Each structure stands twice: as structure tokens, then as C-alpha cells.
């Protein structure tokens, strides 16, 4: 059954409580809104004009590097040139070139090849030296932007006293086409331009964020889904290492990335699809960006990554896809395979996933049949992936969920396969390393809204956590004055769950130790007790969560050794 629901419209619903204009129950009382005033800050490159509102200041569309178009396509960005006078930083910058309707910002300009902009939300442009939280947007490695309404940073900045930064960076073919073996040193690192752009943005933050009230030596990087995978890559990159102190990988466990051999095969397929050879490949430099995007979309039909093959996460795309490349230079090693990378040994890490990730993927994949499974239907689906192991998988999950429906079991199984196994493996390998601590979590707050066309609730689906970690869970007012709930739903408990998540994340940003008033102490992950924090309106620290399920997956998925 095809899913007729518009993903763009749905995700826009989740951007409630934006820009600090809504009063947030239980946190902000007696605050009066006012007309924003201009605020000018001088950076190392020139003066920027932002907007100051009640309790926060925003600067949007701030350039952090030079051109990546024309002669700079597939290369490191040109140096950012200083400007004279005062430059407006009042509107979001252009996202990277991508398929239509994949960005969710308010008044966001169209995608463009020159896209290296960042946005800043800060409580004040003073000398307070607050923790800085640099968020990497989701969308895999092919879509999204740092201007999405759901991840607007105003509430997080003003209510939790941090500076929030989000970037746009190159995506897809323009950000991850591997040309090192084709054109040599001038294009070395081409398979990692998208994450290298973020590293360059981190350098900009280091040089300038003190002018925006931030501490350049107390920077946390984090991101969800594709942003989690980008964070994984940055965690292993020498170019990024000097400019961040801790990290959080959220529903995007990138243990391994693409090999040069696989990346080169993708490049060869692209040339073939475009009717080019190695001798005529230079035409890639002159083609309009829209033509390259069309070729990228066609190329994606050649291969897809597998989500169910091992504990090694989801970072590496298959032939025809785009993701970072372990090229030995920009990205010297896999971040967490076969072990946690040495370069970030002393940097604390948060890692985890949402309990009901698969709801999102089934809903937007058009698989509404997944929400009305029978026992036979569940077994049939598992047999396609696991053959004779299907009965064993069902009985293992049924033992810990005796009241679960077949759909409940399906969601639990495939949520673990897509995001859980890799997250656990990262926690294990980071703990084994014996350096800075790692903290494992599950996001568990359940939205009561229904999957369109079904009676099944959204629960803790993939991407549900974004609004919670930015405290954007308030309803918005419709034209007739009625409340329009965001993706988080309407239950009052959502505010406490969001406060808990924001407190844990911002305290981690400040000190490397997550804590939240009135909630359990979050102990670092270890290989004996294996504590996992479940994030909800009342959080719970659970030792050795999913023990029987994980033991089963290890036996089924890990290579057999003699």
C-alpha cells in the first residue's frame, strides 16, 4: 500500500515552539514578547547584524568558508574573504543541492552549490563563555539543512544557557564523490568534502564564537540520523579533532564508512551513466549542478546499504550511494571498527537510539501493512531476512514482551537492527578503549499521535527526539486560535521529558557528565553492568537492557570463528 502522506508537511508540524515566540509551560512564565532589535557583532572577517529577541540573539546565514562552485567544485572551499561594512545575518543560508522538498526551514532559500553557511542562537553576545553545541542535521548524506524548524535553537539557547550552532555543508555527489584516484593530489579528500566542510565550520567556531558568548574550548558536536553518522566521522578526523571536546551520536551509529575501492566503483558508474570516460571526466567540472543532481538520483538505483547484516552500523552506503570514505587522509580510519578510534580516546561520548525507530521508516516507506501484521505476516517478513531463525527471533522478543502485538514485535526487532545494534557496539568499543567515558541511552517518550491511515501511535519513532532535545514541543496556534500539536503530541508530560533530555544534553556539553535535576544519576557504560538511560518524563537507568535480544543477535549476526 502506497503512503500518500506528505513527509514535508508532516515534519513541518514538529517545528512548534519556534524562535522563542511561544510561551513554554512550566519554564517561561511572565515573559513578554517584544519586537526584535538589531544586534551587531564583529567577527574575524567582518561585522554581522543579527536579531535580539527576549532571551536570545540569532545570526542566520553566516558564511564560514568561501566558494565551492566553479573552479572549487569537489575541492576544499576557497578561503573566506573579509567584507567591509555590516553584513546582514537575518535569513537562513542556501542549503546544499538536493532533491526537491527535503528542507524544512522557515523562509529558507533554494538549494545552491555555494552553501557553506551556519546559524547561531545565543542567550547573549557577551563574555560569558557558555558551552557551545554544534548540531549536524539529518537527511543521510544527501538531504537536509541546518535551518530545519524542528531543530531551531532558540529555546535551547535561552532556557539552558548554551550557544547553538548549525551548519549547511555539501551533500550527495558534490560532497562525497571520490575522485582521488582519477585526478590526484589536487582533489585528494574529495570523497569526504561534506564532513570536511563541517570541520572547517568548527575551526570558524573556534576563531569566532567567543564574540557570541560561547567558549571556543568547550564545544560539543552532535547530530541525529545522518547527523549522527557525520558526528561519527568527525570523531575520527584529524582536521576536526582540535575544535571539539565531546560528542553525541544520536540514531546514526556510523562505525564504518566506505572503502576507496567501493567509492571508486561508484565513480565509475557515474561516469558510465553520463556517457563519460576517465579521459573525459573533466566535464564533471563544467556540468550544471542540477544535471549532477539528476545523475545522482539515477545512480542511487544501483545499490542500497543493508540495515540488517551485522553489528557494524549504517555509515557505509553501497555502490551508487554517497557517504564518507576511509581515504587514509581526511578520514584515516573507521571511527569504531575494529575498535574506537585513538584520536578521540579522551573525548566523552553519548550514543543511543529511539525505542521505536522503525515506525518512521515504515510510515515514510509506504509500508502501512506493517501496522496491521498478523503472527504469520511477522514470521514471513523475518524469514525473508533470516530464514530458519525467524521463529527463534520471535520467541526471544516475545519472552520479554508477552503482551506485544505482531506489529509491536516487528517495530522492536527492526528498530534494534537499524539503530540499536550499532549504538551498543559503539558503547562497547568506546568502553573497552579505557579512555573518556561513554554513556548509552534510549529515547522512550511515546507520542500519542497516530500514523496517518492507521490506529497505530507514532511512539518513539525515528526523529521524534529532535524536537525534545531542542525544547520545541509546544503546540502552535492555528488561525482560529486552536492548538496545533507538533509531532510530540499533546500530553503535558512531553514538557518534562523534553526538559530532562535538554538538561542531560546541556550538562554533558558543559562538563562531559550528563545530569538532570530530579532524575537518576547517569553512570558511564561498562561491560559488566551495561547501564542504559531511558529518556522519558521520568527517566530510568536500566542495567543490561535488551540482554537476551542482544545475545541472540550476536549469535545470529556475528561471524563464526573456529
Q: Among all residues, which ones are annotated catalytic? A: 225
Helix, strand, coil distribution of the chain in percent, nearest 5: 40, 15, 45
| DSSP 3-state of 374 | coil
Read off the DSSP letter of residue 70: G
Q: Which string of b and e fits 11-46 if b means at least 16 CB within 10 Å?
A: bbbbbbbbbbebebeebbeeeeeeebeebebebebe
DSSP 294-357: HHHHHHGGG----SSS-SSBS----TT----B--SSSS-S-SSSSS--GGGTTS-EEEEEETTT
d(CA 480, CA 487) in angstroms, rounded, equals 20
Minimal CA–CA distance to 250: which of 151, 376, 181, 164? 151
Strand ranges (E), 415-470: 438-443, 447-450, 457-459
CB distance 428 to 313 below 8 Å: no
Q: How far apart are CA 16 and CA 326, in angstroms?
A: 39
**Virtual CA dihedral for 185, 187, 192, 193, nearest 10 degrees?**
130
C-alpha cell at 212: 557570541
Pairing of strands 214-224, 246-250: parallel
Amino acid at each position: 500500500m502506497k503512503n500518500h502522506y506528505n513527509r514535508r508537511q508532516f515534519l513541518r508540524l514538529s517545528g512548534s515552539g519556534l524562535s522563542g515566540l511561544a510561551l513554554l509551560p512550566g519554564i517561561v512564565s511572565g515573559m513578554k514578547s517584544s519586537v526584535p532589535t538589531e544586534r551587531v557583532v564583529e567577527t574575524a572577517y567582518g561585522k554581522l547584524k543579527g536579531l535580539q529577541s527576549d532571551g536570545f540573539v540569532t545570526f542566520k546565514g553566516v558564511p564560514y568558508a568561501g566558494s565551492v562552485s566553479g573552479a572549487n567544485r569537489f575541492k576544499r572551499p576557497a578561503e573566506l574573504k573579509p567584507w567591509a561594512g555590516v553584513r546582514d545575518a537575518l535569513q537562513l543560508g542556501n542549503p546544499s543541492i538536493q532533491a526537491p522538498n527535503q528542507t524544512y526551514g522557515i523562509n529558507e532559500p533554494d538549494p545552491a552549490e555555494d552553501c557553506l553557511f551556519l546559524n547561531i542562537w545565543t542567550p547573549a553576545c557577551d563574555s560569558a563563555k557558555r558551552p557551545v553545541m554544534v548540531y549536524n542535521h539529518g537527511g543521510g548524506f544527501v538531504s537536509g539543512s541546518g535551518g530545519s524548524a524542528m531543530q531551531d535553537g532558540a529555546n535551547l539557547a535561552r532556557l539552558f544557557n548554551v550557544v547553538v550552532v548549525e551548519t549547511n555543508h555539501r551533500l550527495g555527489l558534490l560532497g562525497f564523490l571520490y575522485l582521488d584516484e582519477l585526478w590526484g593530489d589536487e582533489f585528494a579528500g574529495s570523497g569526504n568534502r561534506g564532513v570536511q566542510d563541517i570541520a572547517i565550520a568548527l575551526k570558524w567556531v573556534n576563531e569566532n564564537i567567543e564574540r557570541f558568548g560561547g567558549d571556543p574550548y568547550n564545544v560539543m558536536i552532535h547530530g541525529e540520523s545522518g547527523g549522527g553518522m557525520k558526528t561519527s566521522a568527525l570523531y575520527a578526523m584529524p582536521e576536526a579533532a582540535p575544535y571539539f571536546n565531546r560528542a553525541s551520536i544520536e540514531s546514526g551509529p556510523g562505525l564504518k564508512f566506505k572503502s576507496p575501492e567501493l567509492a571508486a566503483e561508484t565513480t565509475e558508474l557515474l561516469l558510465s551513466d553520463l556517457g563519460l570516460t576517465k579521459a573525459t571526466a573533466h566535464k564533471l567540472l563544467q556540468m550544471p549542478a542540477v544535471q549532477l543532481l539528476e545523475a545522482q538520483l539515477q545512480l542511487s538505483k544501483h545499490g542500497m546499504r543493508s540495515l540488517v547484516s551485522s553489528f557494524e552500523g549504517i555509515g557505509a552506503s553501497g555502490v551508487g550511494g554517497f557517504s564518507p570514505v576511509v581515504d587514509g587522509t581526511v578520514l584515516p580510519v573507521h571511527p569504531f571498527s575494529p575498535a574506537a578510534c585513538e584520536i578521540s580516546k579522551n573525548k566523552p561520548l553519548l550514543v543511543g537510539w529511539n525505542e521505536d525507530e522503525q515506525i518512521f521508516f515504515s510510515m515514510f516507506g509506504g509500508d502501512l501493512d506493517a501496522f496491521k501484521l498478523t503472527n504469520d505476516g511477522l514470521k514471513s517478513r523475518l524469514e525473508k531476512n533470516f530464514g530458519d531463525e525467524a521463529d527463534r527471533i520471535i520467541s526471544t522478543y516475545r519472552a520479554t514482551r508477552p503482551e506485544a502485538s505482531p506489529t509491536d514485535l516487528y517495530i522492536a526487532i527492526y528498530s534494534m537492527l537499524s539503530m540499536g545494534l550499532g549504538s551498543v557496539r559503539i558503547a562497547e568499543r568506546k568502553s573497552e578503549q579505557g579512555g573518556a567515558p561513554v554513556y548509552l541511552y534510549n529515547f522512550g517518550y511515546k507520542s500519542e499521535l497516530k500514523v496517518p491511515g492507521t490506529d497505530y501511535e507514532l511512539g518513539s519513532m525515528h526523529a521524534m527526539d529532535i524536537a525534545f532535545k531542542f525544547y520545541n514541543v509546544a503546540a502552535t496556534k492555528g488561525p482560529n486560535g486552536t492548538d496545533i500539536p507538533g509531532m510530540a503530541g499533546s500530553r503535558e508530560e512531553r514538557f518534562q521529558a523534553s526538559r530532562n533530555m535538554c538538561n542531560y544534553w546541556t550538562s554533558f556539553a558543559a562538563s562531559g557528565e550528563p545530569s538532570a535535576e530530579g532524575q537518576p544519576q547517569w553512570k558511564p557504560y561498562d561491560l559488566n553492568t551495561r547501564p542504559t538511560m531511558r529518556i522519558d518524563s521520568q527517566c530510568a537507568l536500566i542495567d543490561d537492557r535488551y540482554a537476551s535480544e542482544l545475545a541472540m543477535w550476536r549469535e545470529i549476526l556475528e561471524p563464526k570463528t573456529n
